[in-house]
Amino acid sequence: MQTDNAVLVLNYQFALHVVKLNQYLTTEKKEYVLSKQLLRSGTSIGANLNEAQAAISKKDFIAKMSIASKEAIEIGYWLNLLADSEYIDRNSVKTQAIFTE
């Protein structure tokens, strides 16, 4: 991703981690429902952050940023649910970064 906006860059990296985790969950764990929710909320954050950059008004910008914030809270829920149901280990090398981010 080519941008000087650190938030967009960090979120793009986070979204890549979400996509890879989704691939792991579907291929290795054969889990499709929770992983789909994880993928949707994890990639929606960046989509809304990028849309906010092209907002047509301050109100539009705030609305997009608000949605991104809500999606960030939601992905925390899905990650904790996946960890607590033992689909993923929050301390493993594969998932530790996504919990930290």
- pLDDT tens digits, the chain, 101 residues: what are they? 778 999 999 999 999 999 999 999 999 999 999 999 999 999 999 999 999 999 999 999 999 999 999 999 999 999 999 999 999 999 998 888 898 88
For residue 6, the one-letter residue type is A
Burial of 33 (C-beta count, 10 Å sphere; 0-12/13-18/19+) = exposed
**The predicted structure's pLDDT at residue 3:** 83
**The predicted structure's pLDDT at residue 94:** 80
Whole-structure pTM value: 0.91
- The candidate with the shortest Cα–Cα distance to 73, out of 42, 46, 98, is 42
